[in-house]
């Protein structure tokens, strides 16, 4: 029997923001020289899932990451925040895979998790982009391979009851509202009453738009990518961190991902999965590492008005203002 809601949150281990380095020979990010953390935008996806869970306590959250063995740490971070479990897709054959290949692998991983857990992934949440790649394409491509509707650059989301007879075949902008650009915060989202089953519900998503914020109603299953919202992400609980450290996380190898028979599980097999740098559609030809010439100046003046005046004059002289 399906739980009220099953959410898979895709997370990635990335270098600390602003401190990543490239390996010019391999054309890939050097993941050994800097501290590795959970991608900041993925934390907003995780927070969004936790906020859905607060309104629907039976919601199950499963974290999913693809990367080296060290990426298990970000899954444990998610468990510390409130995820039930974490699956790591890890195999040397996947190293250096481009965005399209990664999306194909993660799509198959989602279906494998569904089979193993006996669930349907009602929603897949991702960060809008990563600090080490920044293509913003993983979420949309993953939605394509899963064959589900999507909304990108979301700020908030909430479960809502769909009107009787409303067609649930794709993304729809919520009608009957005025001044969508003025809608902000979670108070604008209709929550599903406690105990409401998955049938007849949809995901109400507030999306950042160049014309303001728009609200969309997504049928389930669906995929949503999240950007930085106005709220602060929560901190993990000590008890859950300790619990996560003692857990044995499931690891999916290339054999588990590629050999699994997913016939009839609604996955698009657009060409075979192409993993590894040699099979990537996009090849890195050259990496140019630029050294930033940073010059810092401290304005020391006990009078804040004078200090701000000096700062403004310098900004004007440099053509910044």
pLDDT tens figures, 304-316: 899 999 988 888 8
Angle between helical axes of 99-117 and 138-146 (0-180°, round to 10): 50
Residue 141: strand pairing partners: none
The CA radius of gyration of the chain, in Å to the nearest whole number, is 22
Cβ pair 23, 31 in contact under 8 A: no
| Strands 123-127 and 222-226, bridge-based pairing | parallel
| Strands 28-30 and 13-15, bridge-based pairing | unpaired
| Kind plus residue range of the DSSP H or E element containing 127 | strand 123-127
CA–CA distance, 25 with 171 (Å, rounded to integer): 43
DSSP per residue, 177-225: -S-GGG--SGGGSPPPPTT--STTEEEEEEEEETTEEEEEEEESSEEEE
Q: In the numeric block, which tokens belong to residue 304?
A: 């804040």
Percent of the chain with pLDDT over 90: 45
CA–CA distance, 53 with 9 (Å, rounded to integer): 13
CA–CA distance, 44 with 232 (Å, rounded to integer): 9
Task: Note if the bond before 221 is cis, omega within 30 degrees.
Answer: yes
- In this predicted structure, the answer to whether residue 262 has a pLDDT above a threshold of 90 is no
pLDDT at site 297? 78
Instruction: Spell out the domains of the chain, with CATH numbers in brackets.
Output: 6-279 (3.40.50.620)
- In this predicted structure, the answer to whether residue 16 has a pLDDT above a threshold of 70 is yes
pLDDT at site 186? 37
CA–CA distance, 3 with 6 (Å, rounded to integer): 7
| Kind plus residue range of the DSSP H or E element containing 313 | helix 304-317
What tens digit of pLDDT does each residue of 50-59 get? 999 998 889 9
What tens digit of pLDDT does each residue of 157-187 get? 998 866 554 544 555 554 433 322 223 333 3
Per-chain mean pLDDT for the chain: 79
Highest mean pLDDT among 35-39, 45-49, 243-247, 315-319: 45-49
CA–CA distance, 36 with 56 (Å, rounded to integer): 32
* Phi/psi of residue 308, nearest 5 degrees: -65, -35
Question: Global pTM?
Answer: 0.74
pLDDT at site 114? 95
């Amino acid at each position: 029997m399906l739980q009220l809601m099953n959410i898979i949150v895709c997370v990635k281990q990335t270098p600390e923001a602003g401190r990543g380095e490239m390996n010019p020979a391999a054309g890939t990010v050097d993941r050994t020289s800097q501290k590795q953390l959970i991608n900041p935008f993925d934390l907003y996806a995780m927070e969004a899932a936790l906020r859905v869970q607060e309104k629907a306590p039976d919601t199950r959250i499963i974290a999913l990451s693809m990367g080296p063995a060290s990426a298990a740490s970000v899954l444990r971070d998610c468990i510390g925040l409130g995820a039930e479990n974490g699956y790591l897709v890890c195999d040397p054959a996947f190293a250096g895979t481009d965005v399209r290949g990664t999306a194909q692998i993660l799509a198959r991983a989602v279906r494998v998790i569904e089979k193993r857990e006996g669930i349907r992934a009602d929603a897949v949440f991702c960060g809008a982009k990563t600090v080490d790649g920044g293509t913003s394409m993983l979420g949309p491509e993953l939605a394509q391979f899963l064959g589900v509707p999507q909304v990108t650059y979301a700020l908030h989301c909430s479960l809502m009851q769909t009107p009787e007879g409303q067609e649930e075949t794709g993304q729809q902008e919520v009608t009957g509202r005025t001044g969508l650009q003025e809608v902000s915060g979670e108070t604008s989202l209709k929550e599903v009453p406690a105990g409401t089953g998955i049938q007849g519900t949809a995901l109400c998503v507030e999306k950042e738009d160049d014309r303001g914020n728009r609200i969309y109603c997504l049928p389930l299953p669906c995929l949503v990518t999240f950007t930085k919202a106005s709220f602060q992400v929560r901190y993990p609980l000590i008890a859950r961190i300790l619990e996560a450290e003692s857990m044995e996380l499931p690891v999916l190898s290339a054999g588990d991902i590629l050999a699994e028979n997913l016939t009839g599980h609604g996955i698009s097999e657009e060409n075979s999965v192409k993993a590894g740098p040699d099979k990537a559609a996009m090849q890195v030809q050259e990496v140019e590492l630029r050294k930033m010439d940073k010059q810092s100046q401290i304005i020391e003046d006990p009078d804040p008005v004078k200090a701000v005046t000096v700062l403004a004059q310098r900004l004007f002289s440099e053509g910044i203002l």
